[in-house]
Amino acid sequence: MNNIICQFQLIIAQKINKLIYTVLNFRPLKGLISEEWYVRSDIKKALGILCMIWNVLKDIIWKAFYFILVIIVPNSLLAGGLGFEDNKALGNMFAWTFLICSCFMGTFTHSRIVTDGNEEDYLLLNLMRIDAKQYYLTRSLFQSASQTVYWAVAFLLIVGRICPGHTGVFLWVLLCYICCRPIGEAVSLKLCEYYDKIPYQDKSPKVQGGYYMYNFAMVLLAYLCYPVLYLLQSRLGDKHIQVFHPLFDVGRFSLGLQAVLLLILLVAAVVSVRYLRAYPKYLQVARICCGFARVTEKQKQAEGAGSIETKLENSLDEDEVPERLFPNKNGYDYLHAIFFERHKKLLRRPSQIKRWLAEGIFAVAALAVIVSRFVLSGAQFQSMSDSAWKAVNLLLPILVFVMYSFSSGEKLTQAMFFHCDASLLKYGYYRTPEAIISSFRIRLKYMLQTEVAFILTFCVGVFVNLMLLGRFRNMLQIVAILGCIVILSVFFSVLFLCMYYIFQPFTEAGNTTSVGYKACNIGVYVAAYSCLQLHTPPTYFAVLLLSVTVVTMVVGILFVWKLAPKTFRLR
Amino acid sequence: MRLVVDAIGKSFEEKQVLNGASFQFEKGKIYGLLGRNGAGKTTLFNCISQEIEYDEGTVYMEENGEKKDISYDMMGYAFSTPVLPEFLTGYEFIKFFLDINRDRIKDPRTVEEYAQMVGMELPDLDRLLKGYSHGMKNKMQMLCLLISKPPLLLLDEPLTSLDVVAAHEMKELLLEMKKDHIIILSTHILQLAQDLCDEIVLLHQGKLAGVEDLDCHDKGFEEHVMELLSQ
């Protein structure tokens, strides 16, 4: 009991301190509370009680949501799709799915002992030196008990309303759940022993593959059992559209089967509990699962889960001995040439993918045009050509949005920051106005160069297809369309680079903090999206686009010249 | 030439880290900046190097009675945790640094010669900085200061991550450099300060104070410093 109280106190204290810290550092609430709150035991006790109540409520709500979203909704959809709306069968379907998903899948693949870098485990086992066996056993027992209570409350709230008359079945499922928990823990430890490493978290294809296969099989069993039974029984000529699952729907036989299954699980649970109590290597498990290195690695992963840095792959191998590159280049030209060369996979890939995509689409389109020239009559081909031309005219505004979506400008600037500027901006020489402008100029040139292949592919693709369609008389409009493609490709690259230099929005922690940058980003998106609503002839559209983009680019570059020396800093 | 720190004040939120810190650092000496954890040593360095803006006071260089603002050319700052562009090799980084400082270097040498000055093995020059140890990164950082030779050197715990031989080489190097520079190094290690520094400056309760009366090599020095920092 002491063990549980100690765990509780530590976890709650940690949560309250985090809460106080968050409020202290949340700007709109600045000054509302002071650092004194950290030492006010009365406030912390009150917050602790609120925290506990919230935790219980949160768990119950979460379980209710889980039951609705994972059990009720998919099964109702399945039943509706198949055409049987027998409420009794539906209730049993819910019980079956819960039994498989939560008892036979969840308990075996989500161990509370064999965790992966759990911070609480690390604090209590490695820092506080709590006895590992006692800790793991009491924690598992407490969590199983509390989870059972939460499930029971969730069932009372939902099952009683949606499928009355199924309380007994769900009580049986809950008993199965109680038995399955120690079995799951014992199996996890056994697997841990067998593989000499953490099962399910191991990266080896064998273990990982087994984990996925087991989960996949369980999901299939959970959701497809009733539909399969339904189809089988309807084939056998049962016209009443009623499903008989041996575990629930066959009267006394089902009751007997349930009793046998529960008995088997009970025996297995007793054996598992004995195994868990006798297991001698909890300390080793603690060292594997929640050692300092593993916990910090998990924390980094969690902190960076949504950050940009984790989205950027690291293309450098630290053991590689690279050759000396660009001996004839100097200074910033030399630096950026090496940067682009060493990160070419990362930086050129988006442009390459765009090019391949465009090549594929235009090749297929060209082939279709050539085939239709032979298959269709002259009049039919002309009609198709006119329709295609009309579509091209309509598609032009869409091109703005397509080009915006395809633009790799943002990804390129992120890569520049995390792989180059984040380190060099710490040094004064890299922050001088000359250095900033020089780097901007070199990068602008590079970004335009990377777009050349895509622009060429796109222009050639559009041109060839329109020529194949025989649109020679529309040459002026075609030139306007090609102009739009070139302008747009360049525009978004330049725009993102300018925005990066004006706002420098990224932090070393991998977040985007600048409000101005975010606002501009939204503005660009809205402007690109609004173009979808425009319906103008291509020539006018090209003129409009040219004016807007040239003005924006000139203004952007001027802003960079003026502002970047002051704003291009680490945040 | 001297560096004048005049009544510098800097607060973070409600916490006043520097509170009218004043001191004058002379050329030709190595100053050991001592202070307890969180005393504000790095904050002081950041204020001197203009990395952060301070709330009050002034920092300037004075030469022949003429006051000069501290520009990038005048100052070199070695961080306690060196951060280098990891996509470059040691050779490329030194070459890049030499290129951009070409006009400021009086007696330029080859990349290899510079590397040997800090005891770097030549094969290491062709490895990516990403694979360098903390100590090797620190050497690269110090090398940048050796190349550009700015009059003011701020070294934030420069020797802590170096091995015994490298630390010894670095000490020798700093002793060689001191006659033309103002060198301020922050450290937690009193013995290092005693070995290397000509003067000890304490940063305590937001203020700077030179340790006077006692020679820093004296026996009673350690007790004296402890007493001052515990007040």
Residues A398 and A519 in one domain: yes
Say whether A428 and B49 touch across the interface (CB within 8 A): yes
pLDDT of residue B130: 87
The whole-angstrom distance between A78's CA and the closest CA on chain B is 54
Tell whether B127 lies on the interface with A, counting CB pairs under 8 A: yes
Inside any domain, residue A69: yes
Residue A367 included in any domain: yes
> Chain A to chain B, count of Cβ pairs less than 8 Å apart?
65
Taking the Cβ of residue B131 and every Cβ of chain A, the question of whether any pair is shorter than 8 Å is answered with yes
In our burial notation (b when 16+ CB lie closer than 10 A, e otherwise), range B114-146 reads bbebbbbeeebbebbbbbbeebbbbbbbbbbbb
Distance from CA of A341 to the nearest CA of B (A): 10
Q: How far is A515 from chain B (nearest CA, A)?
A: 21
What pLDDT score was predicted for residue A233? 75
The domain of B129 spans 2-28+36-223
Distance CA A523, CA B219 (A): 68
Q: Which residues of B touch A426 (CB under 8 A)?
A: 79, 83
Do A103 and A183 share a domain, yes or no? Answer: yes
Cβ of B92 within 8 Å of Cβ of A334? The answer is: yes
Same domain, A45 and A169: yes
Per-residue confidence (pLDDT) for residue A252, from 0 to 100: 81
**Could you tell me the CATH number of the domain that includes residue B107?**
3.40.50.300
Nearest CA in chain A to B46: A426
Percentage of the residues of chain A whose pLDDT score is greater than 90 = 15
From chain B, the residues in CB contact with A342 under 8 A are 87
Task: Give tens-digit pLDDT for A477-534.
Answer: 888 888 887 888 788 888 889 999 999 888 877 677 778 888 888 888 888 778 777 7
Q: Is A179 on the interface with B (CB under 8 A)?
A: no
Q: How many CB atoms within 10 Å of residue A81?
A: 9
Å from A334 to nearest chain B CA? 7
Name the pLDDT band for B152 (thresholds 50, 70, 90): very high
Q: How far lies A286's CA from each of A133, A388, B189, in Å?
A: 9, 66, 36
Per the model's pLDDT, the better-predicted residue between A153 and A127 turns out to be A153
Per the domain annotation, does B184 fall within a domain? yes
Q: Which of B45, B77, B80, B87 is the best substitution to test chain A (most A C-beta atoms within 10 A)? A: B87
Which of A303, A329, A357 terminates a domain? The answer is A303
Distance from C-alpha of A243 to C-alpha of A231, rounded to nearest angstrom: 9
| Domain-located, residue A327 | no
Q: Would the CB atoms of A339 and B87 count as touching at under 8 Å?
A: yes
Cβ distance of B130 and A316 shorter than 8 Å:
yes
The single-letter DSSP state of residue B131 is G
Q: What is the pLDDT of residue A248?
A: 79
How much of chain A is helix, strand and coil, in % rounded to 5?
Answer: 80, 0, 20
In chain B, % helix, strand, coil (3-state, to 5) comes to 35, 30, 35
Instruction: Out of B77, B91, B128, name the one closest to residue A324 (CB).
Output: B91
Taking phi over 0 as left and psi of -120 to 50 as alpha, with beta for the rest, A118 belongs to beta
In a domain, residue B230? The reply is: no
End-to-end CA distance of chain B: 33
Q: Which residues of B touch A428 (CB under 8 A)?
A: 49, 72, 75, 77
pLDDT tens sequence across B124-143: 898 999 888 888 888 888 88
**B55-74 residues touching A, CB cutoff 8 A:** 72
Q: Which residue has the higher pLDDT, B87 or A409?
A: B87
C-beta neighbour count of B195 within 10 angstroms: 14
Task: Say whether B72 and A429 touch across the interface (CB within 8 A).
Answer: yes
Please check whether residue B85 touches A, CB under 8 A: yes
Measured CA to CA, the distance from residue A104 to residue A225 in angstroms comes to 15
- Name the residue among A322, A335, A429 with its Cβ closest to that of B128: A322
Please count the structural domains in chain B.
1
Give the residue from A275, A303, A331 where a domain finishes.
Answer: A303
Q: Contact A428/B130, CB-based, under 8 Å?
A: no
- For A514, the domain range is 343-567
Q: Is the pLDDT of residue A334 over 90?
A: yes
Q: How far is residue A101's CA from residue A327's CA, in Å, rounded to a whole number?
A: 62
Q: Does A338 reach chain B within 8 Å, measured CB to CB? A: yes
**A343 vs B contacts (CB less than 8 Å):** 87
Say yes or no: A330 contacts chain B, CB-CB below 8 A.
Answer: yes
B186 within some domain: yes
CB–CB of B8/B161 below 8 Å? Answer: no
Closest among B224, B229, B227, B172 to B195, alpha carbons compared = B172
Question: Quick one: A352 exposed, middle or buried, by C-beta within 10 A (0-12, 13-18, 19+)?
Answer: middle
* pLDDT mean across residues, chain A: 82
C-alpha span between A257 and A247 (Å, rounded) = 6
Partner A contacted by B130 (CB < 8 A): yes
B128 and A332: CB-CB below 8 Å?
no
Q: Is the residue at A52 inside a domain?
A: yes
Tokens of B93: 């980084």
CA distances from A275 to A107, A187, A301 (A): 16, 10, 34
Does any domain span residue A15?
A: no
Q: How far is B211 from chain A (nearest CA, A)?
A: 32
Give the residue from A248, A280, A303 where a domain finishes.
Answer: A303
Q: Which of A317, A319, A335 sits opposite B96 (nearest CB)?
A: A335
Tokens found for residue A12? 């709650």
Q: What angle do CA B77, B78, B81 make, to 5 degrees?
A: 135
User: Distance, in angstroms, between B33 CA and closest chain A CA?
Assistant: 22
| Residue A195 and residue A207 in contact, taking contact as beta carbons nearer than 8 Å | yes
Look at residue A319 and tell me if it is in a domain.
Answer: no
Same domain, A82 and A216: yes
**Residues A179-227: pLDDT tens digits?**
999 999 999 888 888 876 666 566 677 777 888 888 899 999 998 888 8
**Residue A257 within any structural domain of the chain:** yes
Dump pLDDT digits (tens) for A282-320.
888 888 788 777 777 777 666 654 455 555 555 565 556
Contact A420, A339 (CB under 8 A): yes
State the first-to-last Cα distance of chain A, in angstroms, to the nearest integer.
48
> Exposed, middle or buried, A519 (CB in 10 Å: 0-12/13-18/19+)?
exposed
**pLDDT tens, position by position, B194-204:** 888 888 899 98
In this structure, is the dihedral angle defined by the CA atoms of residues B113, B117, B118 and B122, taken in order, positive or negative? positive
In chain A, whose CA is at the least distance from the CA of B148? A429
> What is the distance in angstroms between the Cα of B65 and the nearest Cα belonging to chain A?
26
- Tell me the β-bridge partners of B75: B152
Q: What would the mean pLDDT of A59-65 be, rounded to a whole number?
A: 90
The reply to whether A348 and A426 lie within a common domain is yes
**Burial class of residue A364 in the structure, from the number of CB atoms within 10 Å of its CB (0-12 exposed, 13-18 middle, 19+ buried):** exposed
Nearest-by-CA chain B residue for A334: B96
In this complex, do B131 and A319 lie within 8 Å of one another by their Cβ atoms?
yes
Instruction: Report yes or no: A100 and A250 within 8 Å, Cβ to Cβ.
Output: no
Q: How far is CA B208 from CA B6, B48, B195, in A?
A: 10, 13, 21
Q: Based on the domain organization, do A80 and A196 belong to the same domain?
A: yes
Total tally of structural domains belonging to chain A = 2
Residues of B in contact with A433 (CB under 8 A): none
Using the Cβ of A319 and the Cβ atoms of chain B, whether some distance falls under 8 Å is answered with: yes
* A410 and A558 fall within a common domain: yes
Average pLDDT over residues A104-109: 87
| CA–CA distance, B210 with B223 (Å, rounded to integer) | 15
CB contact under 8 A, B88 and A422: no
Of A150-164, A229-243, A249-263, the poorest mean pLDDT is in A229-243
Q: Is the minimum CB–CB distance between A320 and chain B shorter than 8 Å?
A: yes
ipTM greater than 0.90: no
Cβ distance B85 to A423 less than 8 Å, yes or no, reads: yes
In a domain, A138, yes or no: yes
